Amino acid sequence: MSRIVEVRPFMVNFEQGTGGADAARYGGRGNMMIVRIRTDDGLEGFGEGTLPHKTRAVAGAVEDFAEYLVGQDDTLIERHWQVLYRNSFQRGGVILMTAQSAIDQALWDIAGKRFGVPVWRLMGGAVRDRILLYTHPGGASRDELVDRTHQRIEEGYRAFKTGIPGTAEWISDRKKVQETYENIAAVRDAVGDDMKVMVDAHGKQTPTVAIEIANALEPLDLLFFEEPVPPRNVDAMLLVSAATNVPLATGERMYNRWDFRTTIESQAVAVLQPDLGHAGGISETRRIAAAAETYFMGIAPHNPRGPGVTLASLHIAACTPNFIIQESSIPIGGDALWDEMLVEPLVVEDGYVGLPQAPGIGIRFDESIAERYPFQGRDTGHPVLADGSVGDW
């Protein structure tokens, strides 16, 4: 029986390894946190728990969890999940669940390496031959948005998501509705009828404004309209769902199956978006997806992060029947940090990426990376509205 001998978090400044204007799209969002778990028989597992602006808090939670994990049998993944979630009177929340997610990924990584197979093979095998991706064109203007969409097509993508500019007013915002429609219509014109288009509202709207926007966008044939209202208010989401035919999606700010339960049971959305880096890792995302399947909901895992969450998400996509599409921040054309952390390159072709084939999850990490890309404190700035009040991202 093998035992865990080390659980160590590493903080890495991602933006140093992802240069240029596309840094945000490729996961260059400040600091990344990687967990390394070592066993007494020489195996190493890695998991990513990146949480912008809260890197040190997540690393501290990993160190707290390490007090239990060191000395334990590394193969007891589910037992360790239960202990980490339940051994404190205070459960869940984004800090603890992000730390737990990274640890869970690392334990599955060790399991795959121990048997010499990719993680999806340990979960019953693949249900598909390739994985559909979408990405973010970005752009500060409509013309730039369209131009970048064409660039993404050249890179191999066939599905695209963009957002609503700025923060909408609370009651009615016809100007914002029109601006959003014109932006998305320009993307639809650029990609044609056969490619997929999504819109992320970032939960910035009240139901009344969200309904206005959704109904305006309905003729553009969206795959889904993401976070039209803030998360966890199921009644608000149901108001939007009842007033539009556009499929709705939510879930990136829900952190375990209990957070998702009422949204699933109410059938408030068509698509759930658990994040492998926040929602309890591979183990818990698998359970969330299974619960969603019983209500005929699809999953499209959230992922604006680095190589660890990206690869972990692909393993879930490979073996999950109700998977729809995977958010992608894979750098096209090479990136120093990604190239160093990927065991095998990820190639986007005709909108898809192949199934991961490396044993475990498929990432590697040398602690010198943390030395070469050291943690840097981040500006805690936030959106500000015209009257000086706090806005939403």
Identify which has the larger pLDDT, 31 or 170.
31
What rounded mean pLDDT belongs to the chain? 93
Q: Is the pTM of this model over 0.75?
A: yes
pLDDT score for 379: 65
Nearest by Cα to 285 from 255, 261, 248: 255
Place of tokens 């009344």: 208
Question: pLDDT for 82-97, tens place per residue?
Answer: 999 998 888 999 999 9
Identify which has the larger pLDDT, 1 or 75.
75
| Whether residue 211 has pLDDT greater than 50 | yes
| Whether residue 26 has pLDDT greater than 50 | no
| Whether residue 330 has pLDDT greater than 80 | yes
DSSP 64-126: HHHHHHTTSBTT-HHHHHHHHHHSSSS---HHHHHHHHHHHHHHHHHHHHHHTSBHHHHTT--
Question: pLDDT for 241-266, tens place per residue?
Answer: 999 999 999 999 999 999 999 999 99
**Phi, psi at residue 83, to the nearest 5°?**
-65, -50
pLDDT score for 210: 95
Q: Which residues pair with 369 in a beta bridge?
A: none
pLDDT score for 129: 98
Contacts of residue 242, defined as CB under 8 A and 6 or more positions apart, other chains included, come to: none
Contacts of residue 164, defined as CB under 8 A and 6 or more positions apart, other chains included, come to: 176, 180, 199, 200, 201, 202, 204, 205, 213
Can you say how many angstroms the Cα of residue 373 is from the centroid of all Cα atoms in its chain? 22
pLDDT score for 15: 67
Whether 302 is catalytic: yes
| Whether residue 333 has pLDDT greater than 90 | no
| Whether residue 196 has pLDDT greater than 80 | yes
| Whether residue 17 has pLDDT greater than 70 | no
pLDDT over 90 percentage in the chain: 82
pLDDT score for 186: 97
| Whether residue 318 has pLDDT greater than 50 | yes
Question: Dihedral of the CA atoms 302, 307, 312, 314 (nearest 10)?
Answer: 70
Three-class SS state of 231: coil
CA–CA separation, 149 and 345 (whole Å): 23
Tell the burial category of 248 from Cβ atoms under 10 Å away from its Cβ (0-12, 13-18, 19+): buried
Mean pLDDT of 139-168: 92
pLDDT score for 345: 93
Contacts of residue 379, defined as CB under 8 A and 6 or more positions apart, other chains included, come to: none
CA–CA separation, 229 and 207 (whole Å): 6
pLDDT score for 172: 80
Confidence of residue 61 (pLDDT cuts 50, 70, 90): very high
- Structure token pair of residue 277: 């880096």
pLDDT score for 18: 42
| Whether residue 29 has pLDDT greater than 60 | no
* Least confident among 139-143, 234-238, 270-274, 382-386: 382-386
Mean pLDDT of 329-353: 91
Q: Quickly count: other Cβ atoms within 10 Å of residue 346's Cβ.
A: 20
Identify which has the larger pLDDT, 13 or 333.
13
- Structure token pair of residue 187: 């993307």
pLDDT score for 393: 76
Whether 278 is catalytic: no
pLDDT score for 25: 43
Q: Which residues pair with 31 in a beta bridge?
A: 13
CA–CA separation, 39 and 276 (whole Å): 23
- Spell out the SS3 assignment of 23-74: CCCCCCCCEEEEEEEEECCCCEEEEECCCCCCHHHHHHHHHHHHHHHCCCEC
Q: Which one from 80, 136, 278, 302 is the annotated catalytic residue?
A: 302
Answer yes or no: are the C-beta atoms of 373 and 327 closer than 8 Å.
no
Three-class SS state of 284: helix
CA–CA separation, 368 and 354 (whole Å): 29
Q: Count CA atoms within 13 Å of residue 7 on its CB side.
A: 28
CA–CA separation, 359 and 113 (whole Å): 5
The sheet carrying 248-250 orders its strands as 159-163, 196-200, 225-226, 248-250, 271-272, 298-299
125: left (phi over 0), alpha (psi -120 to 50) or beta: left
